[in-house]
Amino acid sequence: MIRGTDGRFKVVSWHDAFAVVAELAHQVKPEEIVGIAESMMALKDFLNKMGSNNVWCEGNGPSPNADLRSGYIMNCGINGLENADVFLLVGAQPRVEASLVNARIRETVRGSNAKVAYVGPLTEFNYDCEHLGTAPETLTEIAEGRHPFCSTLSNAKNPAIIVGAGLLERSDKDAIFSAVETIVKNGNVVRPYWNGFNVLLLNAAQAAALDLGPVPESIQSIESAKFVYLMGADDECGFGKASK
C-alpha cells in the first residue's frame, strides 16, 4: 500500500511499490540510508549495494560487541541450566522474557535447591530469588570481591550467569559487561567442560543478526537518516528518531 497525496493508503502492485522505494532511495546520499533488519542477509546485501553499511537489528543496540559468538548466546543451552547450582541473573527477567528458560531454572531450584540471585529493577519470580540490588554498582562490588554473594559464587560447582539482552541498549553497557566479565573470570564460570555465561536474547534471529554482523557505521545514523527501510522490523525503540 502507498499513501497518496490525500493522506490515505491505496492498494498498488509490487511493481509500483518497489518503484516508489527506488525513487526515494536514489534521492538521498548513501550515508543517509539506514536499514533495520529481521530478514537480515537480504537487507544487508541490498544496503551494501546502495553504498550503505548502516544495518540495524532490533534489540542489539547501536554498537553491539559481536567479536566472539560466546559473548551473546546461551552457552550452556536451556538443557544445560539443570546442571547449574547457582544462578546470577543480571537484568534478566526470565519469567516474562523467556518462559522455557524460566521453567528450567524453576525445575532446577526445586530439584537441587539451586540458589538464584538477581541484579536489576524489582520484579517477581516464581522461585526463591535473592535481590542483590538494582544498580550496576552491585556488579562492581561482586567483581571486586566486596559483596557477600561472592562466597556463594566461589563455592558453586557450576555457576551460571544470565545477562538480559536489554543491557545491550544501555549507554553504560560497556561498563556493565566489563564487570560481568570480571565476575565470570573470578567465579570460574567458564572452564573446559562448563560455560555458564549466557546472554538471554529476546528477538527472533537476534543471534543470527550478530553472527552476520549488521552493525551501523555510526550510532547517530538513525537520527541523520533520510531513507529508512524497515524489513520485518516493528520495534519502535530508537527507530522513530529518523528525520523522515
pLDDT grade for 242, boundaries at 50, 70 and 90: very low
Cα–Cα distance, 46 to 108 (Å, whole number): 46
- Evaluate whether 59 touches 202 at the Cβ level (below 8 Å): yes
pLDDT grade for 5, boundaries at 50, 70 and 90: confident
Q: Bigger pLDDT: 54 or 111?
A: 111
Q: Bigger pLDDT: 204 or 15?
A: 15
Three-state DSSP class for residue 212:
helix
Cα–Cα distance, 147 to 159 (Å, whole number): 16
Q: What is the dihedral of CA 64, 97, 180, 105, to 10 degrees?
A: -140
- Evaluate whether 15 touches 40 at the Cβ level (below 8 Å): no
Q: Where would I find the H helices in 187-224?
A: 206-212, 221-224
- Evaluate whether 119 touches 91 at the Cβ level (below 8 Å): yes
Q: State yes or no: pLDDT of 100 exceeds 70.
A: yes
- Evaluate whether 170 touches 164 at the Cβ level (below 8 Å): no
CA 135 and chain centroid, separation: 19
Q: What is the dihedral of CA 178, 181, 186, 192, to 10 degrees?
A: -160
Q: State yes or no: pLDDT of 160 exceeds 90.
A: yes
Mean predicted confidence (pLDDT) in 79-105: 94
pLDDT grade for 226, boundaries at 50, 70 and 90: confident
**How is residue 166 annotated by DSSP?**
G
Residue 77, beta-bridge partner list: none
pTM greater than 0.85 (yes/no): no
